[in-house]
A = this chain, B = another copy of it.
Amino acid sequence: MKIDSPEAYVESLRALERRIYLLGERVENPVDHPMIRPSMNAMAETYNRGDEPEAEELLFASSHLTGGRISRFTHIHQNPDDLVKKVLMQRLLGRRTATCFQRCVGMDGFNALYSVTYECDQEHGTEYHERLKEYLRFVQEENLVVDGAMTDVKGDRGLRPAEQHDPDLFVHVVERRADGIVVRGAKAHQTGALNSHHILVMPTTAMRKEEADYAVSFAVPADAEGITFVLGRQPSDTRKLEGSPLDVGNPKYGSQEALIIFDDVFVPWERVFMCGEYDQSGKVVERFAAYHRQSYGGCKVGVGDVLVGAAQLAAVYQGVEGASHVRDKITEMIHLNETLFSCGIACSARGVPTPSGCYLVDVLLANVCKQNVTRFPFEIARLLQDIAGGLVVTMPSQKDFENPEIAPYLEKYLRGSADIPTMDRIKVLKFIENMTVGCGAAAYLTESIHGAGSPQAQRIMIRRLADLEDKVRLVKRLVDLD
């Protein structure tokens, strides 16, 4: 692994020459930009062995291609235990950062493409699988961050890709050359896009024959010509520019999402993994989604652990940790969080091999996992705010605490338990603000709804995979119907 530390990772990003916009301005040095850096710090934790006893076996794996020690984020799952470890790794990093550490999309993309390219080659006589393995070997050795880019901007949701008024609303091939292809379009909500070395593009839905140009998958460096990044806003994002770490709440870590525009970007054939095989596109979507829905049963659970801790700490600092209703609410937070974890573990432990050798999660249970993630974090956040109290949204700013004219008032009047410094209490409440109505809520709440597919996408899969006919047979037998 060439990039072998958080520091090396950050340095490696400096080499990229990208076209990035943020708050209406071109960003020349994203690495040191205070609004971007926290998300980079979160990503950097994936390079950090850390001090948890279990971290080594969770964060790293042995490459099935080379036998070498690699980041699990670049690993192809070889058995159910790998799938379980993936979830445990995600919980670990969620606990460290309390946010999205962004590197899962690439991992999930590689694993999805691994089995589909294999099957595509079998069916179509293509040679995508070897190309992908070659590329993967390179990624493992360099230890790159690869952004898995699936979600198109989609235009009118009531229309299919080929029916849109503008053909570019889904990424598609605009030219096929001897040496490669040229693509156009945009991918939305790209988590960690600015913290990635490469971008691995996949189709966003099952394409039909007339949409063959949209059935395209490929990888490009993040600074390939023709690529533009526009960073999205998050709640309270500019607090990171104020020099007010207190007001940021989670001062070191954050998440990030960008719109990536592909304006006639050239891709050499060796980095093309699907091009026109529209019958394979649905499988990529379904498998990537399954892996990524599994992911939420790990990462958000890690964040949930921190929120449970925050609830307990706020209760202690305010003198109510012994109240029966507070104890019961914290129990409920734990219960909901561990239910999510159970779903993450179950779809992993029930993983099955694909013909390629790569293991796939139980797709039904992975969808069940994500469906619960679209619900429980809101309830966890509500309970957390309940315990924290209204001060979460009425606290003065860090600058007020620094102004000698009023700081003594604040110190005096915002103290909770007498033996806890006021600032300690405020730190916890600012963190809770961040997680429930601030920057962190983007990752913990909204992303929990829409990441890896919106709720209805999971319901469609759950129904499709439930084998209703089988269940009908059970009743018929019991009540003696033919």
Q: Counting CB contacts under 8 A, is A177 at the interface?
A: no
The proximity string for A residues 240-253 relative to B, scoring 1 for CB distances below 8 Å and 0 otherwise, is 00100001011111
Contact with B along A384-424 (1 / 0, CB 8 A): 01100111111111111011011001101111111000001
* Contact status B385-A165, CB under 8 Å: no
Known: A319-B156, A346-B341. A424 touches B189 (CB 8 A): no
Q: A287-318: which residues lie under 8 A (CB-CB) from chain B? A: 305-306, 308-310, 312-313, 316, 318
Q: Which residues of B contact A305 (CB under 8 A)?
A: 471, 474
Is there a chain B Cβ closer than 8 Å to A25's Cβ? yes
Chain-B contact segment, one of A5-13, A116-124, A365-373? A365-373
The reply to whether A415 and B349 contact each other, CB–CB distance below 8 Å, is no
If A386-B454, A390-B449 touch, whether A415 touches B21 (CB-CB below 8 Å) is no
Flag if A413 contacts B349 (CB, 8 Å). Answer: no
Residue A178 at the B interface, CB < 8 A? no
Chain B residues within 8 Å of A82, by CB? none
Residues of B within 8 A of A271 (CB): none
The interface-forming segment of A67-75, A205-213, A428-436 is A428-436
* Least distance between A386 CB and chain B CB atoms (Å): 6
- The answer to the question of A186 belonging to the interface, with a C-beta cut-off of 8 Å to chain B, is yes
Chain B minimum-CB-distance residue to A261: B409
Provide the residues of chain B in CB contact with A394, threshold 8 Å.
188-189, 232-233, 257-259, 442
Contact B233 A397 (CB under 8 A): yes
Name A24's contact: one of B399, B417, B427, B438 (CB within 8 Å): B399
- Which residues in window 167-189 of A have CB below 8 A to B? 168-169, 186, 188-189
Which residue of B165, B403, B455, B480 is within 8 Å of A386 (Cβ)? Answer: B455
Q: Are B418 and A156 in contact (CB under 8 A)?
A: yes
Q: 19 interchain pairs (CB within 8 A)?
A: A21-B406, A22-B397, A24-B399, A158-B319, A158-B323, A169-B413, A186-B413, A230-B396, A232-B396, A236-B236, A259-B413, A325-B459, A335-B368, A342-B342, A345-B345, A386-B450, A392-B446, A428-B475, A437-B446
Q: Is A231 an interface residue (CB 8 A)?
A: yes
A238 within 8 A of B: yes
A153 at the interface (CB under 8 A from B): yes
A379 cross-chain contacts in B, Cβ below 8 A: 378
B475-A393 in contact (CB<8A) = no
Q: In the docked arrangement, what's the CA distance between A157 and B319, Å?
A: 5
B168→A412 contact, CB < 8 A: yes
Q: Among B157, B168, B339, B463, which residue has its beta carbon within 8 angstroms of that of A318?
A: B157
A26, CB-defined interface residue at 8 Å: yes
A389 to B455, CA, bound (A): 10
| Stretch from A101-109, A125-133, A326-334 contacting the other chain | A326-334
Our pick among B157, B310, B346, B396 for the contact of A343 (Cβ within 8 Å) is B346
Q: Is A84 an interface residue (CB 8 A)?
A: yes
- Chain A: residues with Cβ within 8 Å of the partner, total of 157
Bound-state CA distance A58–B234 (Å) is 39
Q: A168-B412, A364-B338 are in contact. Are A23 and B475 (CB under 8 A)?
A: no
Cα of A253 to Cα of B477 in the assembled complex, Å: 12
Closest Cβ of chain B to A372, distance in Å, is 6
Q: Which residues of B contact A186 (CB under 8 A)?
A: 409, 413
Query: Contacting A406 at CB < 8 Å: which of B230, B395, B398, B473?
Result: B230
Q: Which residues of chain B have C-beta atoms less than 8 A from A261's C-beta? A: 409, 413
* Neighbouring B residues of A335 by C-beta, 8 Å: 368, 371, 459, 462
A108 vs chain B, min Cβ distance (A): 17
Residue A324, interface by CB 8 Å: yes
Q: A21-B406, A22-B397, A335-B462 are in contact. List 4 more A-B contacts (CB 8 A).
A: A21-B396, A235-B437, A346-B349, A428-B475
Q: Which B residues lie within 8 Å of A386 (CB)? A: 374, 449-450, 454-455
Give every chain B residue within 8 A of A188 (Cβ-Cβ): 390-391, 394, 413
Distance A232 CA – B391 CA, assembled complex (angstroms): 9
A471 near B308 (CB under 8 angstroms)? yes
Nearest-Cβ distance from residue A53 to partner chain B, whole angstroms: 13
Q: Which of A324, A446, A451, A455 has the most CB of B within 10 A?
A: A446
Chain A 192-220 interface residues, beta-carbon cutoff 8 Å to B: none
- A155 beta carbon closer than 8 Å to chain B: yes
Within the complex, the shortest CB–CB distance from A229 to chain B, in Å, comes to 10
